[in-house]
Chain A
């Protein structure tokens, strides 16, 4: 099946700094990518929908100025957590749609962010 990668897999940063997470579709073109956040023992929460070449659409309650999303190419989307705080510590997961395969969403392995 199609592969989606994320980098880094784990990151620890200090409060107040910014962190960038990359999401890549390795063997298909993804015109749409999604970003999710998952707190321990909870379900995935959709943060935003990212379409290549256009601004991301954020879900209600998600701060667009804090979670910057860039989808500059058909294989790469980035999520930047700006001025991170401990409450931003979470598991961040991206997914990508391969439109040639019945709109199936392929998920990345996730990035564990810890803000100290």
Chain B
């Protein structure tokens, strides 16, 4: 079962930062947080992942709270092509399975 909860949908103005929250209050100490996104009728695309520390790559930043019970994905300058469903996933430690939650449908508005 999914260990994450996310808002169902969000809007963001083009060019502004998109901040997508995720709650994972039952996460275990050795479980990673992953973020993927899915554009309609395609396979999910990897964005970023982390364990304890904040992470940044060319696509996004991941902010994980100190107690690890929640995280935020930040897309610094949203574009129309960032419109997608964003999934926050806790990776099972001993089997590497991903159990997807409902995700957040992000719409970037011109």
Q: List the interface of chain A (C-beta within 8 A of B).
A: 1, 4, 6, 32, 34, 36, 43-46, 49, 91, 93, 95, 97, 102-110, 112
Contacts and interface: CB of A to CB of B under 8 A. Distances in A.
Nearest to A45: B100
Nearest to B43: A107
* Chain A CB within 10 Å, residue with most, of B91, B95, B97, B102: B97
A1 B46 contact: yes
Interface string B89-110: 0010001111111110000000
Interface of B: 2, 32, 34, 36, 38, 41-46, 49, 87, 91, 95-103
* Chain A CB within 10 Å, residue with most, of B41, B44, B87: B44
A107 to B, nearest CB: 4
Contacts, number: 55
19 contacts: A6-B43, A34-B97, A34-B98, A36-B100, A43-B2, A44-B44, A44-B87, A44-B98, A46-B99, A49-B97, A95-B43, A97-B96, A103-B91, A106-B46, A107-B36, A107-B45, A110-B41, A110-B42, A112-B41
A36 B103 CA distance: 16
A46 B100 contact: yes
A103 B95 CA distance: 10
Contacts of A104: 46, 49
